Amino acid sequence: MYIIKNGRIHVGDGTVIEKGDILIDGTKIQKVAPVIECEEAEIIDASGKEVFPGFIDPQSSIGAMGIPGRNMDTDETSSLVTPELNIKYSIDPDELNAQEFYKSGITTVGCTPGNYNLFSGQIAAVKTAPQKMKTRLLKEHAALKGSVEVGVKQVFGGRKQSPMTRMATMSLFKRTIDDARRAKEKSRSQKVLCDVLDQKTMSLFVAAETKGEIDSLLYILKDENVNKVLVDGFCFGDCMEEMKAQNVGLILGNVNMMSQIAKHGMKMEKLVELAENGNLIAFTNTFNGRSEGREIFIWSAIEAYRAGVDAEKVVEMMTLSPAKMLGIEERVGTIEEGKDADISIFSAHPVTTYAAKVERSIVNGEVIL
Neighbours of 136 (CB within 10 A): 21
Amino acid in the structure at residue 38: C
pLDDT of 67 above 70: no
Q: What is the pLDDT of residues 319-350, one digit of tens each?
A: 999 999 999 999 999 999 999 999 999 999 99
Contact 315, 297 (CB under 8 A): no
Cα–Cα distance, 361 to 271 (Å, whole number): 29
Is residue 34 reached through a cis peptide bond, with omega within 30 degrees of 0 on the bond before it? no
Amino acid (one-letter) located at 59: Q
Return d(Cα 13, Cα 103) in angstroms, integer: 22
Question: ∠100-206-339 over CA atoms, to 5°?
Answer: 45
Confidence of residue 69 (pLDDT cuts 50, 70, 90): very low
Q: What is the mean pLDDT of the chain?
A: 93
Residue 71 has pLDDT above 70, yes or no: no
CATH of 55-326, one of 3.40.50.2300, 3.65.10.10, 3.20.20.140, 3.30.1020.10: 3.20.20.140
Q: Is the pLDDT confidence value at 70 over 80?
A: no
CA atoms within 13 A on the CB side of 348: 7
Residue 98 C-beta-side C-alpha neighbours within 13 Å: 13
Q: Residue 180 and residue 159: Cα distance in Å, rounded?
A: 26
pLDDT at 319: 98
Question: What pLDDT does residue 8 have?
Answer: 98
pLDDT of residue 286: 86
Residue 147: which of 116, 184, 110, 104 has the closest Cα? Answer: 116
Residues whose CB falls within 8 Å of the CB of residue 312, separated by 6 or more in sequence, listed in order:
10, 14, 15, 16
Give pLDDT, residue 264: 59
Is residue 133 over pLDDT 90? no
Inform me whether the pLDDT recorded for 194 exceeds 90. Answer: yes
The reported pLDDT for the residue numbered 6 is 98
pLDDT band, very low/low/confident/very high, at 258 (cuts 50, 70, 90): low
- Residue 294 has a pLDDT of 86
Report residue 260's pLDDT band, with 50, 70 and 90 as the boundaries: low
Location of each CATH 2.30.40.10 domain in the chain = 2-51+337-367
3-state secondary structure of 325: helix
Average pLDDT over residues 219-227: 95
Write the DSSP string, 206-232: EEE-SHHHHHHHHHHHTT--S-EEEEE
CB atoms within 10 A of CB 27: 15
Predicted confidence band of residue 27 (pLDDT cuts 50, 70, 90): very high
Domain with CATH 3.20.20.140 in the chain: 55-326
CA distance 315 to 310: 9
The answer, as to whether pTM is greater than 0.85, is: yes
CATH number of 2-51+337-367: 2.30.40.10
